[in-house]
Chain A
């Protein structure tokens, strides 16, 4: 699946193996006010393909900001600016002048903190990303909708009411619908910005199961403020504090045997 994606993209010539980094962040500094103050400072980390990487840290540490740098959602803020360093995804500097953010976002999907389905039917929600690409063939859409909903573990619950409003679903279902909507576009990378923070524990558990399943097909980067969640879902964890990357390692190392005092204090619940 993943290899198909990579090969179908004309910009890639070389095959990218599972262990090679799909995202390479190099000495990145980022500012929300045109460089007066840096929200992120000198961050370098490589995110491996086909794995789940978690960003953790206390509120305001910049983990969501970094996530939104990865699909250039920060472009929506007029005064946002990468002041230093670069981000390479699939070997391409994503802030290069000839990169179109819209094309980037087709490869790097995003699931938001607050589930935000459009007030349309379930079917139209999933088909949205394909429709904006100009795909209107009913058979293609039907197939993509079913496939995506199945991958999002929602198909059996909604298959008989695809034409009803998405807003009639429960919170957890709505968030899974948002995931289905994101993967319908077949991105290589799925960014998740605290996807469970608005959900109850049962719905959260289902999303976590889903993340584990999706990691077979997608590279997942998840921001979470729930430390247990990071241990449950992620292969690697990055700990951020005050705009800096403190430590980045295998999740088991970060939680079991961190090398930095701050990390240990945070994961053991002493602050944050």
Chain B
């Protein structure tokens, strides 16, 4: 080597060929990395470019509150007496015709779902997430505590873990069908009602002194069925995350606690859970965020394309009966709404605004969920050290 180098540089490159190969590798890896970045920017950029304008308007308060506060409805398009083309949603159109019965309306067209806003789907998605979160956290944390703290290591626990991991690989549509059969159709789930469904109820227990019944008739397409289906789907992620958080609590805490005469449950409650709680919560929120965006599981179990009333204004009865009626209402949901306006309706330019607007808001919603959990996690990591 010293012979080849005229300056007697012992550190000169061995061969230019090797150098070129190295450079080529660097470029290749960099290319694919930036390719992914490019895709992300393209997707987000396109959605923001076409979706953001739907949410904004020219005059104060600059935010299109109607898009957020109205539910989807039919869009009317017609030409008025001045030859101008006018667009208005069903509510405004009805009002307009009532106020101006003699108005000239020519070349009238209607586009379903293209008018109004996304208030209904937004509310539905929120409620589904809440039901899902309550159920998934409760079941998931319990299962993780049992598996990690109580169960004896052995074949059974290994089999359970394997089963849970396999659950994570089940396609979402299968969860949807499972939820449909289990929560919606099977009559084993009770509702509180004044009028049991004669066809599906297998048992109706009169609840004296109220006039209602506890009727075993299944939940049908409902908030509860959809939320629980999502919860089942979120469980593998949540259980794994909870177990991870429990494992991260030093063994010394458990030993110290038990050696001081704490019972198993006291040990878990005072020396394990407080230090695992932050991890459990943030990871669980992340898991729930993932299923919140799913369409297939709620397609059969909860979501409907159109519904005039929100769950709480449609529920009747009082007290527990009202709650039971509300949670067994079907709802609109953002992912399903997007599926309907983008896939089920004839392609029409009038629908574009609704599509992009919905997708943009949905994306914003899911990203903010994820952001919250990531920020929470970062905070907790900083505050907990041992």
Name A's B-contacting residues (CB within 8 A): 71, 73, 76, 78, 102-103, 105-106, 109-110, 112, 114, 116-119, 128-129, 131-133, 167, 178, 181-182, 185
Contacts and interface: CB of A to CB of B under 8 A. Distances in A.
A2 B261 CA distance: 19
A73 B384 contact: no
Given A129-B260, A178-B256, A181-B256, 18 more contacts: A73-B258, A73-B259, A76-B254, A76-B258, A78-B154, A102-B258, A105-B261, A112-B252, A119-B384, A119-B386, A128-B257, A128-B270, A129-B261, A129-B262, A132-B261, A133-B261, A167-B385, A182-B260
B255 A76 contact: yes
Contacts of A128: 257, 260, 262, 270
27 contacts: A73-B255, A76-B254, A76-B258, A78-B153, A102-B261, A105-B258, A105-B261, A106-B261, A109-B259, A109-B260, A112-B259, A116-B252, A116-B255, A118-B253, A118-B271, A119-B386, A128-B257, A128-B262, A128-B270, A129-B261, A132-B257, A132-B260, A167-B386, A178-B256, A182-B260, A185-B260, A185-B261
A172 to B, nearest CB: 17
Contacts of A178: 256
Contacts of A116: 250, 252-253, 255-256
Contacts of B254: 76
Interface string B246-278: 000010111111111111001000110001000
Contacts of B256: 112, 116-118, 178, 181
Contacts of A132: 257, 260-263, 266, 270
A103 B260 contact: no
B5 to A, nearest CB: 53
Interface residues of B, number: 23
B252 A105 contact: no
Most-contacted residue by chain A among B255, B259, B384, B386 (CB, 10 A): B259
B150 to A, nearest CB: 11
Interface of B: 152-154, 250, 252-263, 266, 270-271, 275, 384-386
Contacts of A73: 255, 258-259
A29 to B, nearest CB: 22
A103 B261 contact: yes
A174 to B, nearest CB: 11
A101 B250 CA distance: 22
A157 B106 CA distance: 90
B257 A105 contact: no
Contacts of A106: 260-261
Nearest to A133: B261
Nearest to B154: A78
Contacts of A114: 252
Contacts of B258: 73, 76, 102, 105
Given A73-B258, A78-B153, A119-B384, A102 B252 contact: no
Contacts of B261: 102-103, 105-106, 129, 132-133, 185
Contacts of B259: 71, 73, 105, 109-110, 112, 182
A60 B261 CA distance: 27
A82 B385 CA distance: 37
Contacts of B153: 78
Nearest to B260: A129
A234 B355 CA distance: 80
A181 B260 contact: yes
Report the 5 A-B pairs with minimum CB-CB distance, sorted nearest first. Answer: A116-B252, A129-B260, A106-B261, A110-B259, A132-B262
A112 B386 CA distance: 16
Contacts of B152: 78
Contacts of A110: 255, 259
B34 to A, nearest CB: 43
A105 B260 contact: yes
B326 to A, nearest CB: 41
Contacts of A118: 253, 256-257, 271
A102 B250 CA distance: 21
Most-contacted residue by chain B among A106, A116, A182 (CB, 10 A): A116
Nearest to A117: B256
B317 to A, nearest CB: 43
A132 B255 CA distance: 14
Contacts of A112: 252, 255-256, 259
Contacts of B385: 119, 167
A16 to B, nearest CB: 21
Nearest to B151: A78
B236 to A, nearest CB: 25
Nearest to A113: B252
Contacts of B260: 105-106, 109, 128-129, 132, 181-182, 185
A240 B336 CA distance: 70
Nearest to B267: A132
